[in-house]
Amino acid sequence: MANTKSSAKRALQNEKRRVRNRRYVSGSRTAVKKARTLLAGSDLDAAQTAVQTACTALDRAAQKGVIHKKNASRRKSRLMLAYNRASQAAS
């Protein structure tokens, strides 16, 4: 429990930010998971759009400061690597 007015205000601000940030974290996780499941399947066209959506979601989360810029870059790199492997295997 907060002891001062300023710490009570900080607690409220932190809660607001936590709720706002969850949207970006959850959205990027969902997009990456969807892309990975489509990559495991056979539909590469849908997988390509899902990978692009996941990259956009990761970029947006990094831009907002919810995840680190290099964390987003690493995840995008691994996703693209999986997509390239799947597209080569299909060829």
CB 58 within 8 A of CB 77: no
- Domain extent at residue 31: 5-90
Burial of 37 from C-beta contacts in 10 A (0-12 / 13-18 / 19+): exposed
Rounded average pLDDT over 12-27: 96
Residue 91's pLDDT band, with cuts at 50, 70 and 90, is confident
Q: Can you tell me which residue has the tokens 């066209």?
A: 45
Q: What is the pLDDT of residues 23-42, one digit of tens each?
A: 999 999 999 999 999 999 88
Q: What is the pLDDT of residues 43-60, one digit of tens each?
A: 899 999 999 999 999 999
- CATH number for position 49: 1.20.58.110
Q: Which of 83, 9, 14 has the alpha carbon at shortest distance from 49?
A: 83
Cα 81 from Cα 84, distance rounded (Å): 5
Q: What is the pTM of this model?
A: 0.88
Q: What is the pLDDT of residues 56-78, one digit of tens each?
A: 999 999 999 999 999 999 999 99
**Amino acid occupying residue 46:** A
Report how many domains make up the chain.
1
User: Where does residue 65 fall: left (phi above 0), alpha (psi -120 to 50 degrees), or beta otherwise?
Assistant: left
